[in-house]
Chains A and B, each alone.
Chain A
Amino acid sequence: MTTFSIGALQVDRSGIPVIRGVDLEAKGGEISVLLGSNGAGKTTFLESLSGIIPVRSGFINLDGVELAKLRPGARAKTGLSHVEQGRTVFPAMTTEENLKVALHPDADLKEAYDLFPELLQRRNVEAGMLSGGEQQMVVIARSIVNRPRVILIDEMSSGLAPVIVSRLMRAVRQLADDGIAVVLVEQFAALALAIGNRAYVLRRGQIVYDGDCAALARDPAHLHRLYLGDAAA
């Protein structure tokens, strides 16, 4: 069973501390939901995990392998995948080429089309021409055929219609059920908490809640206070 654990993580942006001592553990088969208001540091956190930006101190450990000093490509090869904010398809390549370029030797394109059958009829369309929802499916599918043990997903639902969002949520739940450790950063807190196992709330670079998704889902007022901090107290 995969264990992805982060401890005492500190990350600076332009010299300013943005992530200030974060501990988080994500387990295979579970969705760890990471919530927080705009500017809390969610994207910065994920980017430091995948190696897009460097960490100042702390550890990032995937099944005993320390990742914090590795290049992004090496972290990917260890089994970490990052679905970035903003649907980062390769726009001038077809859907199928987007998947092929990420295909792990042991993986099959069928896995991607099983997860999102709707992509099958769009396989020869350039990814730049797809709808927002389809592009989001492409980047998630692209990440899956890379055979990750951990997948970090940043704001996959932004700007998408509710039916598409719940479609994507179901797919993400399926990934976790297949044994992947999912870290899900999401604006739509209620939807994310409904499919998630463990929840974390990040405020100004620190974890202010670490507990059950269900408990937080039942108490929206508590969640609201966690987002806003002392201002709401």
Chain B
Amino acid sequence: MDSLFTAAVAGLSAGGAYAILGVCAIFTYRLVAVVNFTGAAIGAAGTFAMVALFELGMPLLLAVLFGVAAGALAGLAIGLVMTTWFAGSNASTKAAVTAALLVGIIAVGLRLTGGQHPHYFPEIIPGSAFRLAGVEVTWAAVTTLVLSVAFTLLTEQFLARTRTGLQLRALSQRPMAAELIGIRVRLLALGVWAVTGGVTAFALMIIAPLRSPDFASLSLLVVPALAAALIGAFSSFRAALIGGVMIGLLEGSVSAIGPVSQYRGAVPFLVILAVLLWSQRGARWDEAR
């Protein structure tokens, strides 16, 4: 039981990162109407930019800043593709496009980063913060949790209170009416892509040292991200926040249970499956009648 608790706590920092990724996924879906499969890959690009600069001797803090900027640029690039050629496409086409882009980005990313060749991932936030019932809680876990809560609340307040937030909501509800009152829809959409890119990059930097640190594995963190977003029904930031943290805890716990520990990577898939089945229960019931 003790070891299960330890393992669950070990999943906390991953959970915080999933929560941030999930909130970003909802942000992108609600504001630019794209289910974005490239979210984590964009972040991975930023993370590897950080690692490369660090390996070249740049001070860590500076490398992190450049990495976040690189993530924002990568997001912007995907945003340019989506707003230039797929602005008028329907939701499923856009999702398929980002899935295809994901495959391309992983291929290019693996090539540029030397495939499975190990890189040294610096711990951005090292050390242990405190002990909880005898279990070490790391600063990385505390930081991702605080960040994920802060990011969620900030996002909500930003959308509710600022002029840009208001414009973004208008854009998401009726893009044409928004354009007709002179809102700069393309600029705003690109802004959303850039900001989520930068934030995702930072979240991935924190948890990268805990993962098998190759480009593909980081890019596939889009799975727990979308699972968290799904828990929030792609609309509630808070539910996605809680969902992301829970997926992290669940993954941590599973890794401590001997016989199933090999399958901890499947946890997000199971969560997605469970949420989808749960959300379809009404439809099934209706069909059965």
Contacts and interface: CB of A to CB of B under 8 A. Distances in A.
Interface of A: 50, 52, 71-73, 76-77, 81-82, 84, 88, 90-93, 97, 100-102, 142-143, 146
Interface stretch (B38-46, B125-133, B175-183): B175-183
B250 to A, nearest CB: 32
Given A52-B176, A73-B179, A84-B177, A93 B170 contact: yes
Nearest to A91: B173
B182 A101 contact: no
A170 to B, nearest CB: 24
Contact of B174 (A73, A81, A82, A88): A88
B180 A93 contact: no
B211 interface: no
A84 B174 CA distance: 12
Given A88-B174, A91-B173, A93-B173, A101 B180 contact: no
Could you say which of A73, A76, A91 has the most chain B C-beta atoms within 10 Å of its C-beta?
A73
Contacts of A143: 181
Contacts of B177: 84, 88, 90
Nearest to A72: B179
A52 B177 CA distance: 10
Contacts of B181: 76, 81, 101-102, 142-143, 146
A19 B132 CA distance: 73
B170 A84 contact: no
A162 to B, nearest CB: 27
Contact of B170 (A81, A101, A146): A101
Interface in B169-216: 169-170, 173-174, 176-185
B173 A101 contact: no
A92 B174 CA distance: 10
B264 to A, nearest CB: 38
Contacts of A146: 181-182
Contacts of A92: 169, 173
B247 to A, nearest CB: 28
